[in-house]
Structure 1
């Protein structure tokens, strides 16, 4: 299986965890929320919103366009801190994010 196929499978798994946990939203955040200059749009979106509305679509667009994937990616550490302990399916989501990160070189 190619790295791209592995990443695609991870994106699907992350989407399924969000949907199964009831964290998938049918309405997008406001246009202004997408204009944030902060990493992960921390000032305008929840961590789950950023995954659904920013990260997943951008990664899918790279795959669809057969563009090079980032060399480095490590988003799971942010989510280990950002997700509240009581969030539904927190452990499953962190597992899926760590699996995705495993296909990329990590920043030291």
Structure 2
């Protein structure tokens, strides 16, 4: 399996976890919310919205276009801070994000 294939599989795993825990939204946020200049769109999106509407589509676009992927990339540390310890999906989401980070050489935790 190529690196691109591994990333694609992991993106699907993240989406599956979000869907399983009913965190996947059917309606996109307003376009202005996606234009934030803040990291993770902190000022306009909830953490799971950023995964669904920004990270996953952008990585899929890179994969589909055969473009280079980021290096030393890590999102799990943000989610460790952003998600409350009592969030029911926190642990499973973090595991999948750490797996993604590992593919990009990020520390993931």
Q: TM-score, normalised by structure 1?
A: 0.94
Q: Which runs of 5+ in 1 are unaligned?
A: none
**Hey, what does 1:87 align to over in structure 2?**
87
Q: Bigger relative contact order, structure 1 or 2, given CA contacts below 8 A and separation 6+?
A: 1
How many residues were matched structurally?
Answer: 107
RMSD, matched Cα = 1.1
Q: Deviations over 1:24-57 (max 9, x none)?
A: 0011111110111100000000000000000000
Secondary structure of the structure 2 residue equivalent to 1:102 = helix
Q: TM-score, normalised by structure 2?
A: 0.93
Q: Which consecutive segments of 4 or more residues in structure 1 shift more than 6 A? A: none
Q: Which runs of 5+ in 2 are unaligned?
A: none
